[in-house]
Amino acid sequence: MPERLIFPDPRAAADVLVFAQRAARLGDGTVRLLARDGILALTAAPLAPRTLLDQAPTILGLRAVAVDAELVCDLVVDATALQASDDPHALDLPEHAVTAAWAGISAPRSGWIADGEISAAVLAARSQWGIAAVAEAVPTDAGDDAVHAVRTAVWGAPDDDLGGLPLGVAFAAFALGFIGGEERAAVRRNGPWARVSLSRGHVLVRSRVTTGLTGVRSTGRA
């Protein structure tokens, strides 16, 4: 694996580092780095199923930045292990990559069909409602499995304000810093996949079943 990521613009290096710092606090804390043709695609999974019976949807945050055109890689790293270097155009990679089950899931590259828009204000409001709901529902001294169950129930529930998409789509957009200004996010669908695109990044979601998730339906309001 390469020792460094080299960027043509130091602002891109700083941007990637911020994304990694945000991703470190979400899901399993890993980031997939896929580089080719001068573009580095950074992907994190704020929510993903842990087992075959886990009904959590796969919710991915994706941001793309310009990188050294000669760099070709596809690896997953601990987000905290991606570090600034002595060169403002570069980031140091850890010595070893890690594994993440969600990283083997790839969204379609074509065939997307437009399916409306969601305002950034709605995404922000629904993410805040969900954060409060998770905080209220998590038992005191809850173990990791209990926390995951609560997060799946809240973030995996289809939300009316998001056109039936899981509430976790709003959380991913907020937690990864994609929400800014008064823009409207374009929604596109492709089979079991949906993509919500903002100027700062994309949220991709694949439900475990195409008929909709069972469990809590997040119709509450902040």
pLDDT digits (tens, 9 = 90+) for 37-62: 999 999 999 999 988 888 899 999 99
Confidence (pLDDT) at 40: 97
pTM: 0.90
Task: Give residue-wise pLDDT tens across range 61-82.
Answer: 999 999 999 999 999 999 999 9
- Counting the structural domains of the chain, the total is 2
Helices (H), 138-220: 144-155, 168-175
The answer to which of 103-107, 133-137, 157-161 has the lowest mean pLDDT is 103-107
Verify that 67 and 133 share a domain, yes or no: no
Residue range 130-148: mean pLDDT, rounded: 90
Structural tokens at position 196? 């919500």
Verify that 100 and 16 share a domain, yes or no: yes
Could you tell me which residue, 87 or 211, shows the higher pLDDT? 87
Does position 221 have pLDDT exceeding 50, yes or no?
no
Does position 213 have pLDDT exceeding 70, yes or no?
no
The CATH number given to whatever domain includes residue 19 is: 3.10.150
Q: Which value, in Å, is the radius of gyration of the alpha carbons in the chain? A: 17
Max Cα distance, the chain (Å): 51
Does position 218 have pLDDT exceeding 90, yes or no?
no
The reply to whether 212 falls in a domain is no
Domain around 139: 113-206
Confidence (pLDDT) at 106: 86
Q: In the sheet that 83-84 helps form, which strands lie side by side, from edge to edge?
A: 4-6, 90-92, 83-84
Confidence (pLDDT) at 214: 33
Verify that 87 and 137 share a domain, yes or no: no
Verify that 89 and 126 share a domain, yes or no: no
Would you place residue 208 in the very low, low, confident or very high pLDDT band (cuts 50, 70, 90)? low
Q: Is 80 helix (H, G, I), strand (E, B) or coil?
A: helix
